[in-house]
Amino acid sequence: MAMLRSLLLLFIVFSMGNAEVKKCPYGWTNFGVRCYKFFSEAVNWITAEKNCQRLDANLASVHNKIEQDFLLSLLPSSTTRCWFGTHDGEQEGQWLWTDGTPYDYTYWAPGQPDNKGIENCGDNMKWFIYNRWNDAACLTSLGYVCAKYL
Ligand SMILES: [Ca+2]
Ligand SMILES: [Ca+2]
């Protein structure tokens, strides 16, 4: 009986060991089921997405106002804009997320997206009163926010 009890105890200990809580890598911030990080290095949009992919991430997608507010909270106050994961490069006006999630939410600034002079990449602005999205020329250099699943 004592043996059985010991075996049971061992089983429980090992089970608990396997049920470890998933954590974000150092420097990334957990929100919901994803981990986010702002990179201040200013690069063009495709470089930003590729840099995220090297970290098993994509440029961040946004699916509701709570995620939008969280994403902007990652930006240092001096940084007014960052790349995030939306683009309409394949077909004008058909916006997609680089992480493949459904395009089920938008938060464009007034008058945006305006495709002014050809703008196919989304930036998120902590600027003036808006805290909203803009479409920008993809070769613009901006910081960016990557996101990946836990
Ligand atoms: Ca466009
Ligand atoms: Ca624009």
Q: Supply the pLDDT for residue 77.
A: 80
pTM (two decimals): 0.86
Report the half-sphere exposure of 5 (CA within 13 A, side-chain side): 2
Give the pLDDT confidence of 21-33 residue by residue, as tens digits: 889 999 999 999 9
Better-predicted residue by pLDDT, 133 or 8 = 133
Residue 146 has pLDDT above 60, yes or no: yes
Confidence at residue 80, expressed as pLDDT on a 0 to 100 scale: 83
Ligand 2 being an ion, which residues bring their Cβ within 5 A of it? 112, 114, 119, 134-135
Residue pair 123/142 in contact (Cβ under 8 Å)? The answer is: yes
Between CA 30 and CA 90, with CA 41 as vertex, the angle to 5 degrees is 80
CATH top-level class of 30-149 = alpha beta
Give the Cα separation of 7 and 48 in Å (integer). Answer: 51
How many A from CA of 62 to the centre of ligand 1?
18
Q: What is the mean pLDDT of the chain?
A: 90
Ligand whose nearest atom lies closest to the CA of 121: 1
Helix (H) or strand (E) holding 83: strand 81-87
The CA 117 to ligand 1 mean position distance, Å, reads: 9
Q: How far is the CA of 30 from the centre of ligand 1 (A)?
A: 31
Which residue ranges make up each domain of the chain?
30-149
Cα separation, 53 vs 49, in Å, equals 6
pLDDT band, residue 74 (cuts 50/70/90): very high
Which ligand is closest in space to the CA of residue 135? 2
Ligand 1 center from residue 88 Cα (angstroms): 5
Query: Which residues sit opposite 86 in a β-bridge?
Result: 97
Which of 12 and 56 is assigned the larger pLDDT?
Answer: 56
